[in-house]
A and B are shown apart, each in its own frame.
Chain A
Amino acid sequence: MDAADRLADPLACEPVLAVEALAYAWPGGEPLIDLPELTLAPHERLFIEGASGSGKSTLLSIIAGVIRPDRGRVRLLGRDLTELPAARRDRIRADHIGLIFQQFNLIPYLSAADNVLLACRFSPRRRGRCPDPRGEARRLLAHMGIDTPELLARPAARLSIGQQQRVAAARALIGSPELVIADEPTSALDPPLRERFLALLFAECAAAGSALLFVSHDPQLAAAFPRRLRLGAP
């Protein structure tokens, strides 16, 4: 059994994510991030608002374990990422975090279904959580409105932007990771699609039991979230 399972499952009240006194600056540059505190409970949805250049993408890279902060702590499911070596952080990201970006989420030459399955490739844990990964990928994609065999088999490069974002969401959700991080996932979409995408994402996060960390520069979207946080100029 994974240490994270022991920590995460019996103690449902333990936060999925707990950030303390986080600071980061580009080498030789001004301080980019100065975040005293950020917590995310299981199943919670949090909206982080930040203009471009406010360091939000960097913050997400730190939470995802790709970048190490200058100081502070980032606890994911009780484990401090800042104390772990890169390989362990990569493994934790594979096991517990689903990521959605603004665009270019997919491997262009892989089919929609294969792109979703990619999330299971680097995580035995997420593979273990869905006994039939192909069936689960199809189920998630069907929920996202990608359900014809032709669409499932089509290379990602030939899907519309809206379809690509929904495939990315399905990939983030397969294997029910504890945390889904979405970085401007709707900003490439037209307004009507935007709301539908958001509704789908909320529903599927709830179904998978994943907490959602949603980052956007667009304050209009914030209304849909119970809790909000502003990054940047204090």
Chain B
Amino acid sequence: MSLLRLTWKGLWSRRAAVLLTLTAMAVSVALLVGVERLREGVRAGFATTVSGTDLIVGPRSGALQLALSALFRIGAAEHAMSWASFEALKRDPAVAWAIPLAFGDSHRDYPVVATNGDYFAHLRYGRGQELVFLAGGAFHEALDAVLGYEVAERLGYRLGDELELTHGIGESGHHHDEAQFTVIGILAPTGTPVDRSVHIPLAGMARIHAGWIGGLPIPGVRVIGTAEWPDQVNAVLLGLHQRTQVFAVQRRLQRQPGEPLSAVLPAVALDQLWGLVAPVERVLRLLALLVFLASALGMAAALLAGMESRRRELAVLRAVGAAPRHLLALVLLEGGLITLAGIAAGVALAGLLVFAAGGWVGGRFGIDLAAVGPGAGLSWLPLLFAVGLGAALVPALAAYRRSLADGLLVRE
């Protein structure tokens, strides 16, 4: 009759209560592991958003602002750089390719990106993966549109469907109902903001804004222009012939006379972005830890409440020679076993959740949980175990003191 077997049988005899305690703990552990996985997933998502792009160039602004709009389509693109500056970049001998990006329109809350064929040829994500067409191909005409996977999936577009754009974001903006764009390509899922983008040619964007003055249409005038490019773009993604030149090119671009430009290394901008998000994830992590602490205290409370009805059991153990420290060990072992089982069940639950909901989270938020690997959050487990054991110390000490006071006889 080992102490472990005695503990096990005792727990089994109270299995309903133990199971509830254990479940509470498992849920809190699953939450913690889940948050960690989400965090790692978001971090991995940030890192895989762009690959192969050496510099993001745009009008003079903050690195973060430029990256947010160029990579994540977040934030209003208030500033722009001239088309001439883009042309100059393209001619720069150090530059292998330059992808122009212009923003400002949307389609049913999905951002519209005006660009050219180089986007599909040179943009890379993840570990250097290329964009792949699920159906159709790149632009031919000014009023063609290539949809990101989620846009097509969510809005149910197929090749040949027509869509209209809205100026700005939301329903309040001007409807470009003078021009219909035709879906000629749908991209395969990437897990990046590309999935949420509607891509149109620069010429298309130039034409639907033809004749506008100061960013507003002239009332009563409906024009479709014939321009092949816009006057301005919001950002340019650059690929260099030699990556080692990136700092030299960056310095040169920032200092060159003429239009003031910003050139940003994507990794630096992502680091800044990460720094911005870090407090939120710290709060999430803290909350998850607090939930676990609550479940550990719940376990301690359940064990402590059980101690009153188990006084006779403790007295019997004392009679057969158990020292008070044995009873302390017994209750500590109970808490330890419950914590261990709760942690194991929680990790399994988190794995199950990722398995069941990973696809949905990936499609909805572009966070690839399955790619994070099962190791995320596991480094917390020893700490959780220690917290559980620490909480069990409360009822264990109660058993210790009680057995000293009661001795062999429980006085009612």
Contact surface of A with B, Cβ cutoff 8 Å: 57, 60-61, 64, 66-67, 86-87, 90-91, 93-95, 99, 101, 104-110, 114, 117-123, 155, 171
Alpha-carbon separation in the docked complex, A91 to B1 (Å): 17
Q: Evaluate contact between A119 and B321: CB separation under 8 angstroms.
A: yes
Q: Evaluate contact between B408 and A64: CB separation under 8 angstroms.
A: yes
> What does the 1/0 interface line of B170-212 toward A look like (CB < 8 Å)?
0000000000000000000000000000000000000000000
Q: Evaluate contact between B320 and A119: CB separation under 8 angstroms.
A: yes
Q: Closest CB of chain A to B118's CB: distance in Å?
A: 74
What residues of chain A lie closer than 8 Å to B321, measured between beta carbons? 90-91, 93-95, 119, 121-123
Q: Evaluate contact between B319 and A64: CB separation under 8 angstroms.
A: yes
Q: Evaluate contact between B9 and A104: CB separation under 8 angstroms.
A: no
Contact surface of B with A, Cβ cutoff 8 Å: 1-3, 6, 9-10, 12-13, 312-313, 315-326, 407-410
A66: nearest residue on chain B (CB-CB)?
B407
Alpha-carbon separation in the docked complex, A67 to B404 (Å): 9
Q: Closest CB of chain A to B309's CB: distance in Å?
A: 10
Q: Closest CB of chain A to B3's CB: distance in Å?
A: 7
What 7 pairs across the A-B complex have the smallest Cβ distances?
A94-B321, A109-B13, A122-B321, A90-B323, A66-B407, A99-B319, A104-B312
Q: Which of B2, B316, B323, B325 contacts A104 (CB 8 A)?
A: B316
What residues of chain A lie closer than 8 Å to B318, measured between beta carbons? 66, 90
Known contacts A61-B407, A101-B409, A122-B321, then 12 further A-B pairs from the complex at CB < 8 Å, ordered by chain A residue: A64-B319, A66-B407, A87-B323, A107-B10, A107-B317, A108-B313, A109-B13, A114-B9, A119-B321, A122-B320, A122-B326, A171-B320
What residues of chain A lie closer than 8 Å to B9, measured between beta carbons? 109-110, 114
Count chain A CB atoms within 10 A of each CB in B2, B10, B320 and give the residue with the most: B320
Q: Closest CB of chain A to B327's CB: distance in Å?
A: 11
Q: Closest CB of chain A to B404's CB: distance in Å?
A: 9
Q: Evaluate contact between B3 and A108: CB separation under 8 angstroms.
A: no
Q: Evaluate contact between A67 and B407: CB separation under 8 angstroms.
A: yes
Q: Which of A95, A108, A118 contacts B13 (CB 8 A)?
A: A108
User: Can you offer 30 A-B residue contacts whose CB atoms are under 8 A?
Assistant: A60-B408, A61-B408, A67-B407, A86-B323, A87-B323, A87-B325, A90-B318, A90-B322, A91-B321, A94-B320, A94-B322, A95-B321, A99-B319, A99-B320, A99-B408, A101-B319, A101-B408, A101-B409, A107-B316, A108-B13, A114-B1, A114-B9, A118-B317, A118-B320, A119-B321, A121-B6, A121-B320, A121-B321, A121-B322, A155-B13
Q: Evaluate contact between B1 and A118: CB separation under 8 angstroms.
A: yes
What residues of chain B lie closer than 8 Å to A119, measured between beta carbons? 320-321
What residues of chain A lie closer than 8 Å to B322, measured between beta carbons? 90, 94, 121-122
Alpha-carbon separation in the docked complex, A45 to B410 (Å): 27
Q: Closest CB of chain A to B256's CB: distance in Å?
A: 83
A86: nearest residue on chain B (CB-CB)?
B323
Alpha-carbon separation in the docked complex, A12 to B178 (Å): 116
What residues of chain B lie closer than 8 Å to A87, measured between beta carbons? 323, 325
What residues of chain B lie closer than 8 Å to A61, measured between beta carbons? 407-409
Q: Closest CB of chain B to A233's CB: distance in Å?
A: 22
What residues of chain A lie closer than 8 Å to B325, measured between beta carbons? 87
What residues of chain B lie closer than 8 Å to A91, measured between beta carbons? 321, 323
Q: Closest CB of chain B to A74's CB: distance in Å?
A: 15
Alpha-carbon separation in the docked complex, A65 to B348 (Å): 48
What residues of chain B lie closer than 8 Å to A99, measured between beta carbons? 319-320, 408
B409: nearest residue on chain A (CB-CB)?
A57
What residues of chain A lie closer than 8 Å to B324, measured between beta carbons? 86
What residues of chain A lie closer than 8 Å to B3, measured between beta carbons? 121
Alpha-carbon separation in the docked complex, A94 to B318 (Å): 9
Q: Closest CB of chain A to B403's CB: distance in Å?
A: 9
B406: nearest residue on chain A (CB-CB)?
A66
What residues of chain A lie closer than 8 Å to B316, measured between beta carbons? 104-107, 118
Q: Evaluate contact between A107 and B323: CB separation under 8 angstroms.
A: no
Q: Closest CB of chain B to A181's CB: distance in Å?
A: 9
What residues of chain A lie closer than 8 Å to B408, measured between beta carbons? 57, 60-61, 64, 66, 99, 101
What residues of chain B lie closer than 8 Å to A117, measured between beta carbons? 1
Q: Closest CB of chain A to B1's CB: distance in Å?
A: 5
Q: Evaluate contact between A121 and B1: CB separation under 8 angstroms.
A: yes
Alpha-carbon separation in the docked complex, A61 to B408 (Å): 7
B403: nearest residue on chain A (CB-CB)?
A66
Alpha-carbon separation in the docked complex, A87 to B1 (Å): 21
Alpha-carbon separation in the docked complex, A57 to B411 (Å): 11
Alpha-carbon separation in the docked complex, A57 to B406 (Å): 12
Alpha-carbon separation in the docked complex, A77 to B318 (Å): 20
Given A99-B408, A121-B3, A122-B326, A109-B12 contact (CB < 8 Å): yes
A156: nearest residue on chain B (CB-CB)?
B316
Alpha-carbon separation in the docked complex, A95 to B210 (Å): 101
Q: Closest CB of chain B to A22's CB: distance in Å?
A: 17
Alpha-carbon separation in the docked complex, A171 to B317 (Å): 12
Count chain A CB atoms within 10 A of each CB in B2, B12, B318 and give the residue with the most: B318
Q: Closest CB of chain B to A121's CB: distance in Å?
A: 5
Q: Closest CB of chain A to B334's CB: distance in Å?
A: 13
A115: nearest residue on chain B (CB-CB)?
B316
What residues of chain B lie closer than 8 Å to A109, measured between beta carbons? 9-10, 12-13
A99: nearest residue on chain B (CB-CB)?
B319
